[in-house]
Structure 1
């Protein structure tokens, strides 16, 4: 079997699985970097003030959401997979994954940077934690918009 024949026969599932992989890998790697950056900053604070562990953990969790959103989109795509998926449907699933895949990475990194600064602020003034969370949630808004966009696109067309 030639590659073109193989692709025509299996292209739908290949494209859909590619979309699923991208929506897990890209936002997930952004979340991992963001959470890691905040963990580095928080561990420095823990050496001096271990009683702030709970507050730093909350701040550290914020950049993790993009990886979770990407995983949820991939699970939603999983329900659409079939061995005989036409190429057109596979490309549609791939396109539905793109908003979350593309927006997830930079928004997780931005949240990570804001959260690192939030850890520094928490070290100086514990009363400012709420403001730090508000700043990170502002970035979260765009990750949520991408997540909802991917969900809407995925659930709009049925084949």
Structure 2
């Protein structure tokens, strides 16, 4: 079997799997980096004020959501994969995964940057935690829009 024949027979599955991989990989990397950034900032505060652990843990978890959203999109994509998938179906699924894949990484990093600054704010005044969460959740809005967009596109056409 030549490469062209292989691609024509399996191209749909290849593109769909690529979309699935991107949806889980990019937001997952962004979330992992983001949670790590916030954890570094929080651990410095823990050395001085260990009683603020609960507050900082909540702030640290916020950049993790993009990785979870990407995971859900990947699982939903997995349920759509079939060995006989056409090239058109595979490309459609790839495109459906792109909003989450593309927005997930930078939004997790942006959310982490705000969270790191929030840790500094909590260090000075723990009463400011709610404001920190509000600032961080504003970035979450765009990750949610990407997640919902990917969901809508994935469910727009049945094959």
TM-score (norm 1): 0.99
Q: CA deviation at 1:158?
A: 1.0
Give 1:89's aligned residue. Answer: 89
Give 2:38's aligned residue. Answer: 38
Give 2:66's aligned residue. Answer: 66
Q: Which runs of 4+ in 1 moved over 2 A?
A: none
Give 1:141's aligned residue. Answer: 141
Q: CA RMSD in A?
A: 0.4
Kindly indicate whether residue 9 of structure 2 is the aligned counterpart of residue 4 of structure 1: no
In 2, the alpha carbon distance for the partners of 1:22 and 1:129 equals 33
Q: CA deviation at 1:129?
A: 0.2
Unaligned ranges ≥5, structure 2: none
In 2, the alpha carbon distance for the partners of 1:4 and 1:40 equals 49
In 2, the alpha carbon distance for the partners of 1:124 and 1:28 equals 31
In 2, the alpha carbon distance for the partners of 1:104 and 1:83 equals 28
In 2, the alpha carbon distance for the partners of 1:54 and 1:2 equals 58
Give 2:13's aligned residue. Answer: 13
Unaligned ranges ≥5, structure 1: none
Deviations 1:82-124 (A, max 9, x none): 1111110000000000000000000000000000000000000
The count of residues paired between Structure 1 and Structure 2 equals: 159
Give 2:111's aligned residue. Answer: 111
